[in-house]
Amino acid sequence: MRAEELLEQVPIVHRETTGAEAARVVAEFRLTGLVVADDQDAPIAVIPGTQLLSVVLPQYVRDDPKLAHAFDERAADDLCRKLNTVTIGELLDAKRLKAAQVPSVLPEDTLIEIATVMDQGHSPVVLVRERDQSYRGVVTMSRVLAAIATAAGQDSDLVRRRLQRDIIERGRSGVLTQPDPPEPAAAGASDAPVVGD
Amino acid sequence: MHPAAWLALGVFALAYVVIASEKLNRAAVALTGGAAMVVIGATRGDAMFFSPETGIDWNVIFLLFGMMILVGILKQTGVFEFVAIWSAQRARARPFRMMVMLVLITALASALLDNVTTVLLIAPVTLLLCDRMGLAPIPFLLAEAMASNIGGTATLIGDPPNIIIASRAGLSFNDFLIHLAPIVVVLVAVFVGLCWLLWGRHFTHDPERAAAVLALTPRETITNRRLLWQMLAILALVLLGFLTHSLTHLEPSVISMIGAGLAIVVSRLDPEDYLQDVEWETLLFFAGLFIMVGSLVHQGVITQLADALTTAIGTNYHVAAQGILVGSAVLSGIIDNIPYVATMAPLVHDLVGPAPGLPPGQQSLWWVLALGADLGGNATAIGASANVVICGIAKRNGHPISFWEFTKYGLIVTAVTILCTIPYVSLRYFILP
């Protein structure tokens, strides 16, 4: 299979998206990472999901994890609510989030070429770009593994479904979320393209 | 002076300037300086490694090493977090009372542990408390950095300069308790008053916010009760070892290494856990410094300097003591007090010799060196390692402290504490010896 057959659309967020909205997008679509796009919806970076978790934690708790035990439930909820007051852009600027540059492949690249780029870049996602750098979508590691499983004779309904429906479509069809179509990904987050599980 | 001595002085001065500029890693500079001393023939292998006068002071290195391991293991228990939150709750989360409690805890902990370790432990929990109370944390962090420098002055193990002075002067843990702890108690009381004037009178109490601190669960921070009791017992034994030096004649470095070994055995922690708090860079920095200063001693530079000073001072040790006190305070505010004391200790040694048996007036030179260097560290943001660490933590947590913000408070605190120390030195060593 080639990149153009494997590419899919995943939710993206922008610098203006709040931390709480970003958390909701990740939860709704069971994403392992979050793609940040510029004003033209062109992806500029990927934030691993674990980093979003660490954003909830104040720096002093990250410096001294034992302090996490001192928080009662109310205090913990207060911390979570603070995510409404910070944007992804602010977190990136403050270096609380470290965005990784996403490697890219061409639409005609093969499964092995995609796997090589992912392996070299230690990235669970690669962008698919035309030769003129225009953005087409992303290929996620789970879709690459689904294609590998199929090629290796380990086919199944779920593997086929993973190859047929992209993240947003699966979310809308109820495979990943509720049967009802969700609202457009999030306020400040567009359901135009990019990262998946 | 012969050419090798001049060359050694040049290497030393250059290294000092580079260390003070903080442009390069200080350990790398000190070790490069030490290597340069070997290359120019200012020192030799045996003088570097095996001479107590001109080589690496292994007592200092291993005392620090042992204490770093002990603190690293004690840290795993969560006891510091417990004490800080518990004390804030005992203060009913009233801002100034909380500040006083944190200052007292920091000063006491700094007397028993390294200052940097103390502020590394107390700063995160302070940020938590201020966050819950909606208070600006900078006054609290500044107060803690300064309290650690004042509290660390009290004991042999409280501040690295004291360890160097104790080793060079032949002073014991008890000597420090007898000579420095009394004035430090007074200085801490004065500092609490200063905290009120500088920050405390501007605080307002919000009962609702205070409730958020009272709701915290400090007991939960203690993650290993068994290890906590074991470590408290080992620390008590180490302290007893320091106190009974005159009976056992065990060096502080030996006692701390025995304590560290015992803690490693009983804690059953993996090496990466108990070694993670060892500041290898600091230990290497000390080693490089000792080689450089030892080279100056080896080349007779320090002796010549001491001879010149002896001629200038004559028998007027009172003026010399006050001069060293104030001069050390000023210089320690500008440069790191560790290289300063590493250089001054052999000089004072050449001036008056080892401390035991000296008349009070001459012995005072050792004590004013410690007081001046330790208290002077409060003057600026780069005066002491604890200040640098606090500023780093504050910045990382979104509360940057500028050099001048630190300095405007630091100068006041240094001036007041040194002014309180001047009459103490006069009374104790010259008027009522």
ipTM: 0.77
Q: What is the mean pLDDT of residues A122-130?
A: 85
At A100, the pLDDT band (50, 70, 90 cuts) reads: low
Whole-number pLDDT of residue B239 = 93
At A29, the pLDDT band (50, 70, 90 cuts) reads: confident
Question: Is the per-residue pLDDT at A195 higher than 50?
Answer: no
Mean pLDDT value across chain A: 79
Question: Would you call A55 helix, strand, or coil by DSSP?
Answer: helix
Q: Which two structure tokens, joined as six digits, stand for B37?
A: 């001393």
CB contact, 8 Å: A60 with chain B?
Answer: yes
Whole-number pLDDT of residue A192 = 34
- Return the higher-pLDDT residue of B156 and A10: B156
Distance between A54 CA and the closest CA of chain B, angstroms: 14
Per-domain boundaries in chain A = 3-190
Q: Which two structure tokens, joined as six digits, stand for B405?
A: 């913000």
Q: What's the whole-model pTM score?
A: 0.80
- Considering only CA atoms, which of A112, A114, A109 is closest in space to residue A124? A114
Question: Is the per-residue pLDDT at A191 higher than 80?
Answer: no
Whole-number pLDDT of residue B288 = 93
Whole-number pLDDT of residue A196 = 46
Low-confidence stretches of chain B (pLDDT beneath 70): none
* Chain A residue with Cα closest to B220: A69
Q: Do B125 and A60 lie within an 8 Å CB cutoff?
A: yes
Q: Which residues contact A109 (CB under 8 A, 6 or more apart)?
A: A2, A3, A117
The beta-carbon neighbor of A75 closest among B123, B124, B132 is B132
- What residues of chain A lie within 8 A of the CB of B215, using their CB? 72, 74-75
Q: Do B85 and A70 lie within an 8 Å CB cutoff?
A: yes
Return the half-sphere exposure (C-beta side, CA atoms, 13 A cut-off) of residue B118.
31
Give the Cα separation of A102 and B221 in Å (integer).
Answer: 39
Q: What is the mean pLDDT of residues A185-193?
A: 39
Query: What whole-number percentage of chain A has pLDDT above 70?
Result: 84
Work out the burial of residue B415: count CB atoms within 10 Å of its CB; fewer than 13 is exposed, 13-18 middle, 19 or more buried: middle
- Give the CA angle between residues B406, B108, B187 to the nearest 5°: 60
Return the half-sphere exposure (C-beta side, CA atoms, 13 A cut-off) of residue A11.
31
Q: Could you confirm whether domain A3-190 is CATH 2.40.128.20? A: no
Q: What is the mean pLDDT of residues A72-88?
A: 85
Whole-number pLDDT of residue A181 = 42
Question: Is the per-residue pLDDT at A176 higher than 50?
Answer: no
H-helix or E-strand spanning residue A13: strand A12-13
* Chain B residue with Cα closest to A61: B124
Distance between B94 CA and the closest CA of chain A, angstroms: 19
Whole-number pLDDT of residue B323 = 94
Whole-number pLDDT of residue A74 = 82
Whole-number pLDDT of residue A180 = 41
Distance between A80 CA and the closest CA of chain B, angstroms: 14
Q: Which two structure tokens, joined as six digits, stand for A4?
A: 């153009």
Q: What is the mean pLDDT of residues A20-25?
A: 88
Question: Is the per-residue pLDDT at A184 higher than 70?
Answer: no
Say if CB B161 and CB B339 are below 8 A apart.
no
Question: Is the per-residue pLDDT at A167 higher than 90?
Answer: no
Whole-number pLDDT of residue B389 = 87
